[in-house]
């Protein structure tokens, strides 16, 4: 009996497949969209892919592109160092919400202010997945995690970080800032394409936050997972292009 | 490589300025830095020279970023460097650790200031432990401790070559006195002194089509299993030990008949040199030993110097509370020479201090 294999992006590194993310994790969707975008833009040989520590680390040999591991929170400066030295390369930093908004927030903020010509993709799953599900800057009010076992108390720990919104405030018009979700694949592809195009055209800083799923640590079934992503997360983290040099922007 | 100087020339400049000129002469392409005293003028001079010579500079948001941008820059194949001190050196241990783990040809200048904490902005030799063995690793680093501006110039050029030849992170360990004082030196193009600059090459962003001309590069610093990391660290250790004989540098004077050997490094060794001359004129048989590389340490050479006569005493003099002392003791374990100390943390040591100490113990 013949099987129709799903199309695999050319820029994927096949020896590392099947990938090691948990069942139901959104990383695979983001990385498939990124792979297809790299193929579409024909930039596989120019890309340098850098990944943070945490679940994003599992992407370190995901692509058949030159790639490097970094440290937790330090993907941004490593990508900046490469781009500043070799502007012809296309640098893609891949990180989680902890890496980008907490331990590496100073790098994210200042590279945005300097309008560094790098593309950063930040996967927001509202918790630290790799270390066992602790509270992240993006954990929703009331959400239970290992370090907020009775639910996030905003009086004690503040409100979730809205990254693209603050980055949009810090960047000039030539930057690209968007929030996508793994539940809207075509839109995710379009935002990633725009974020890479913006770097390729030498315009400025490009940042895409992607809302993603973590059923392992959320302790949710498929239905609950999708509900949390589409209803609860999207309510707090609105989807759309917040800043784009390419037309009006997609809300 | 373009020549920076028409011919070698005499200069009377600060140590920080000498570093900027030497980096330029060595063909450095980009500097990343964050302000901290006493290294600031390295950046000040570099930023003035950079446009004229087509060089890059970025003032980063902190020392973490300065260290990691250098990591990225050298991964992309560019001769990059940074300079820092004190708490900045503490922060940079994280990127220095990555350079150790990934064997990145990182070169950094450390101008020691007083510690702990913010300490002073002036001077110390209190960053020896941090620079040689900082980070969550095994100290697979190469550390040159300079004593004169000529050495600052020479070892900045050499430091880049060492980093790119062996791919262990390499440090020029100076201090605030060396950073800020003016002193005569000769500046030159490396080629004129018969120094061939090691060619740089990229670790990512390679030429060629992936899948046709070459495989993709996947650089890593984290391993799934204990045994994988164990293999890597053992390999690094073996490589480090194999190159140690060609790396160690030291200076030795008058140890052949010395009753007491003064051991010091960096700028303090200048006082030790003077003290030894004066003591000898007064009939005290003193010798001088100075490690130039603190990592790897010239332990074989020091053991030989101690055992030549043999010396009865070894006086370790440093502007720290025992950092060179600990380093030395672990390196010459088993020697029975009596070890005496002159610890003056965060302050300068002059010949008089050493002479008094020697007379009090002989």
Q: Which residues of A touch B30 (CB under 8 A)?
A: 84-85
The residues, ordered by sequence, that sit 6+ positions from A114 with a Cβ below 8 Å of its Cβ are: A205
Would you say residue B2 has pLDDT above 90? no
Please state, in angstroms and rounded to a whole number, the distance separating the CA atoms of residues B101 and B222: 9
Q: Is B219 within 8 Å of A67 when comparing Cβ atoms?
A: yes
Burial (0-12, 13-18, 19+ Cβ within 10 Å), A156: exposed
Fold agreement (B9-193, B250-361):
yes
**Residue B13 — φ and ψ, nearest 5°?**
-140, 175
> Within 13 Å of residue B301, how many CA atoms lie on the same side as its CB?
21
Q: Looking at CA atoms only, how far is residue B169 from chain A in angstroms? A: 16
**Residue A248: pLDDT over 80:** no
Over the range B21-43, which residues count as b (16 or more CB within 10 Å of their CB) and which as e?
bbbbbbbbbbbbbbebbbbbbbb
Closest chain A CA to residue B30 = A85
Q: Is the dihedral of CA B328, B333, B336, B340 positive or negative?
A: positive
Contact assessment for residue B110 and residue B171, using Cβ atoms and an 8 Å cutoff? yes
Subunit contact B76:A57, Cβ cutoff 8 A: no
Q: Domain for residue A60, yes or no? A: yes
Chain A residues in contact with B67 (beta carbon < 8 A): 77
* pLDDT tens track for A119-154: 999 999 999 999 999 999 999 999 999 999 999 999
Residues on chain A touching B214 (C-beta within 8 angstroms): none
**B137 vs A contacts (CB less than 8 Å):** none
Q: What is the pLDDT of residues A23-44, one digit of tens each?
A: 999 999 999 999 999 999 999 9
The closest alpha carbon to A30, from A215, A209, A246, belongs to: A209
Is residue A195 a part of any domain in this protein?
yes
Counting residues of chain B whose pLDDT is more than 70, the rounded percentage is 99
Closest chain A CA to residue B211: A64
Closest Cα in chain B, distance from residue A72 (Å): 10
Q: Supply the pLDDT for residue A251.
A: 63
Give yes or no for a contact between A53 and B222, defined as CB atoms under 8 angstroms apart.
yes
Place of tokens 């950046």: B43
Query: In angstroms, rounded to a whole number, what is the distance separating the alpha carbons of residues A57 and A96?
Result: 9
Residue range B250-361, CATH number: 3.40.50.920
Predicted local confidence at residue B227, as pLDDT: 98
How many CB atoms within 10 Å of residue B264? 28
Q: Which two tokens stand for residue B215?
A: 């495989």
Q: What is the three-state SS of A103-161?
A: HCHHHHHHHHHCCCCCEEEEEECCEECCCCCEECCCCCCCCCECCECCCCCHHHHCCCC
**Left if phi > 0, otherwise alpha if psi is -120 to 50, otherwise beta: which for B336?**
alpha
Burial bucket for residue A19 (CB in 10 Å: 0-12, 13-18, 19+): middle
pLDDT at A3: 78
Residues of chain A found within 8 Å of residue B209, distances taken between Cβ atoms: 45
| CATH code where residue A98 lies | 3.40.50.970
Per the CB < 8 Å rule, is A80 touching B76?
no
Q: Domain ranges in chain B?
A: 9-193, 250-361
d(CA A228, CA A124): 13
User: Taking CA atoms, what residue in B is nearest to A78?
Assistant: B72
Using DSSP's 3-state secondary structure scheme, residue A243 falls into: strand
Task: Report yes or no: A60 at the B interface, CB cutoff 8 Å.
Answer: yes
Q: For residue B61, which residues of chain A lie inside 8 Å, CB to CB?
A: 106-107, 109-110
Count up the domains in chain A and report the number. Answer: 1
Dist CA A176 CA A188 (whole Å): 14
Domain with A140, as residue range(s), is: 24-243
Greater confidence (A247 vs B189) lies with B189
| pLDDT greater than 70 at residue B30 | yes
Give mean pLDDT, residues B112-131: 98
Cβ-based burial of B148 (10 A; exposed 0-12, middle 13-18, buried ≥19): middle
Q: Which of B72, B98, B229 is most worth mutating to test chain A (most A CB atoms within 10 A of its CB)?
A: B72
Q: For residue A110, list chain B residues with Cβ-Cβ distance below 8 A.
A: 60-61, 65
Assess A110–B contact: CB distance below 8 Å, yes or no.
yes
Looking at the predicted structure, is the pLDDT value of residue A237 above 90? yes
Residue B330 CB coordination number (10 Å)? 11
A3 vs B162: which has the higher pLDDT: B162
In the numeric block, the tokens 């190469």 are attached to: B142
pTM above 0.90, yes or no: yes
Answer yes or no: is A2 within a domain. no
Q: Flag whether A14 is in a domain.
A: no
Report the pLDDT value the prediction gives residue B1, as an integer from 0 to 100.
62
Predicted confidence (pLDDT) per residue in A165-207, tens digit: 999 999 999 999 999 999 999 999 999 999 999 999 999 999 9
Q: Which CATH number is B9-193 given?
A: 3.40.50.970
Query: Quick check: is A1 in a domain?
Result: no
Instruction: Decide the pairing of beta strands A66-69 and A47-51.
Output: parallel
Under the banding of pLDDT at 50, 70 and 90, the label for residue A69 is very high
Averaged pLDDT, B167-172: 98
Q: Does A38 touch chain B (CB under 8 A)?
A: no
């Amino acid at each position: 009996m013949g099987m129709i294999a799903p199309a695999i992006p050319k820029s994927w590194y096949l020896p590392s497949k099947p990938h090691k993310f948990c069942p139901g994790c959104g990383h695979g969707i983001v990385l498939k969209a990124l792979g297809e975008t790299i193929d579409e833009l024909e930039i596989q040989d120019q890309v340098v892919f850098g990944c943070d520590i945490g679940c994003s680390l599992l992407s370190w040999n995901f692509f058949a592109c030159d790639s490097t591991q970094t440290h937790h929170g330090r993907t941004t400066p490593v990508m900046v160092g490469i781009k500043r030295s070799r502007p012809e390369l296309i640098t893609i930093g891949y990180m989680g919400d902890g890496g980008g908004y907490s331990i590496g927030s100073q790098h994210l903020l200042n590279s945005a202010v300097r309008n560094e010509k790098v593309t950063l993709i930040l996967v927001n799953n509202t918790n630290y997945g790799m270390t066992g599900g602790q509270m992240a800057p993006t954990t929703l009010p009331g959400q239970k995690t290992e370090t907020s076992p009775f639910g996030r108390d905003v009086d004690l720990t503040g409100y979730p970080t809205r990254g693209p919104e603050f980055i949009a405030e810090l960047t000039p018009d030539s930057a690209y800032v968007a929030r996508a979700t793994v539940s809207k694949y075509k839109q995710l592809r379009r935002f990633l394409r725009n974020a890479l195009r913006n770097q390729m055209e030498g315009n400025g800083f490009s940042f895409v936050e992607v809302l993603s799923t973590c059923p392992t640590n959320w302790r949710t079934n498929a239905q609950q997972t999708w509900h949390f992503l589409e209803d609860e997360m999207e309510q707090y983290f609105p989807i759309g292009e917040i800043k784009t040099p390419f037309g009006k922007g997609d809300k | 490589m373009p020549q920076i100087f028409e011919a070698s020339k005499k200069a009377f400049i600060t140590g920080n300025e000498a570093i900027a000129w030497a980096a330029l002469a060595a063909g450095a392409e980009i500097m990343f830095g964050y302000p901290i005293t006493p290294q600031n003028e390295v950046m000040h001079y570099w930023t003035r020279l950079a446009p004229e010579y087509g060089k890059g500079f970025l003032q980063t948001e902190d020392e973490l970023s300065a260290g990691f941008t250098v990591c990225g820059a050298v991964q992309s194949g560019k001769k990059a460097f940074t300079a820092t001190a004190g708490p900045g050196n503490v922060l940079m241990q994280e990127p220095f650790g990555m350079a150790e783990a990934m064997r990145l040809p990182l070169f950094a200048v450390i101008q020691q200031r007083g510690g702990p904490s913010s300490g002073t902005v002036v001077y110390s030799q209190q960053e020896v432990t941090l620079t040689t063995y900082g980070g969550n690793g095994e100290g697979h680093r190469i550390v040159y401790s300079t004593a004169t501006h000529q050495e600052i110039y020479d070892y900045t050029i050499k430091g880049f070559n060492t980093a790119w030849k062996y791919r262990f992170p390499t440090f020029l360990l100076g201090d605030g006195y060396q950073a800020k004082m003016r002193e005569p030196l000769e500046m030159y193009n490396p080629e004129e002194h018969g120094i061939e600059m090691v060619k740089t090459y990229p670790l990512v962003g390679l030429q060629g089509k992936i899948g046709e001309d070459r495989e993709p590069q996947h650089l890593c610093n984290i391993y799934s299993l204990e045994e994988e990391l164990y293999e890597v660290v053992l390999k690094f250790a073996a490589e480090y030990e194999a190159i140690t004989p060609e790396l160690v540098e030291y200076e030795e004077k008058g140890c052949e008949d010395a009753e007491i050997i003064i051991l010091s490094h960096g700028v303090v060794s200048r006082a030790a040199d003077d003290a030894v001359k004066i003591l000898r004129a007064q009939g005290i048989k003193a010798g001088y030993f100075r490690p130039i590389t603190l990592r790897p340490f010239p332990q074989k050479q020091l053991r030989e110097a101690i055992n030549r006569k043999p010396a009865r005493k070894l006086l370790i003099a440093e502007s720290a509370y025992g950092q060179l002392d600990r380093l030395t003791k672990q390196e010459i374990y088993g020697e029975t020479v009596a070890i005496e100390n002159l610890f003056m943390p965060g302050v300068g040591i002059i010949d008089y201090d050493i002479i008094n100490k020697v007379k009090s113990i002989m």
